[in-house]
Amino acid sequence: MAVRDLDDYPWDAVAPYAKRAAEHPGGLVDLSIGSPVDPTPDIVADALRAATDAHAYPQTIGTTDLRAAIGAWYARRRGVPGVTAAEVLPTVGSKELVALLPLLLDVTAGDIVVHPRAAYPTYAVGANLVGATPVASDDPAQWPEGTKLIWINSPGNPDGRVLGVAELRAAVARARELGAVIASDECYAELGWDGDAVDAAGASSVPSVLDPRVTDGDRRGILSVYSLSKQSNLAGYRAAFIAGDADLLARLLTARKHLGLMLSAPVQAAMTAALGDDAHVAAQRERYRARRAVLRPAVEAAGFRIDHSEGGLYLWATEGEDAWTTMGRLAERGILAGPGHFYGEHFPQHVRFSLTASDERIAAAAERLRS
């Protein structure tokens, strides 16, 4: 498959619904794509400004300070001690990594790439780009022979599903039976809300695929992907990283050097500052918690059933009708959501509500849903 063979960008199909929603007397409430609206923390912006004398080429592998900050963050925030400089690699946001990982790992035509049933579409895009076959499955027992790469996502996008330690162990065990690399997209890990996704103090306790309870200390064949877009409002910075199997990361590093996939020096400095400061993460989490507390009961009061959604930035909801019909009725109320059709063929009756809108817009959506 060539780049020219990729499907049209799916969000273009939402434009008519956005136009209709914008005609509402109270204006548009955009709960669709999920782009952060809150300010970038001062500590991060200050670090970026201080590093603008970036006259030399940045290192693809990342600065010593950044790699140390990533390792310290895994130990402090994810319960994964001992992540070394050889086990981390910064990336230009997480989307390019998701799309390019099959290529960088030499996945080829005839191979299989597994991804969740309710899935961020870029997992399948990356498989299609190299001629591999994407397979949507949440059950490790059903992952087929010939699988070379497995994507798991916890908390999930769009469904907010959180995988516990036992589920992660089963996924890793099956990947090793198949001889496949398993990559866990964990970009919403700081945003656990319900059940086992939070600890006794109410903080997020979403486990990582690199957790020693999952790996038994053996990280071979395992990768963890993380982005600062959500926890730190750095979507515009394109700030992310991957960690895990040092041998796999060495292969990725070599390929990324050849392709020029390096993170700018000022962004590396900003990432280092962001990873070292937990206060702004706690503040942002509280903003999303408060918005969720307003939006969720209103969605349910409007007749929706919310599935999973125990973590992440979204409510995954259905009224039992085709998502495009739901999109039309929401647009009449000035609300724009994301149709389940965009996240695979298995959930045509779901829509995704994002929490990434201002307090005022979330309150407006709740009022309209209740009316």
pLDDT of 5 strictly over 80: no
In this prediction the pTM is: 0.94
Q: State which amino acid sits at residue 234.
A: L
Are 41 and 274 in contact by the 8 Å Cβ rule? The answer is yes
pLDDT confidence bin for 123, thresholds 50/70/90: very high
Residues in contact with 268: Cβ distance below 8 Å, sequence separation at least 6, in sequence order: 51, 58, 62, 63, 66, 90
List domains and CATH numbers for the chain.
Answer: 3-39+280-370 (3.90.1150.10), 42-277 (3.40.640.10)
Pairwise CA distance, residues 48 & 58, whole Å: 14
Give tens-digit pLDDT for 134-168. Answer: 999 999 999 999 999 999 999 999 999 999 999 99
Give tens-digit pLDDT for 160-207. Answer: 999 999 999 999 999 999 999 999 999 999 999 998 888 877 778 999
Q: How many DSSP H helices and E strands does the chain contain?
A: 13, 13
Pairwise CA distance, residues 9 & 192, whole Å: 30
Distance set, CA 294 to CA 160, 364, 370 (Å): 17, 10, 11
Q: What is the pLDDT of residue 324?
A: 97
Are 44 and 270 in contact by the 8 Å Cβ rule? The answer is yes
Query: Does residue 297 have a cis bond before it (omega within 30 degrees)?
Result: no
pLDDT confidence bin for 56, thresholds 50/70/90: very high
- How far, rounded to the nearest angstrom, does the alpha carbon of residue 300 sit from its chain's CA centroid? 25
Pairwise CA distance, residues 78 & 112, whole Å: 30
pLDDT of 81 strictly over 60: yes
Which token pair is 41? 């923390």
pLDDT of 346 strictly over 60: yes
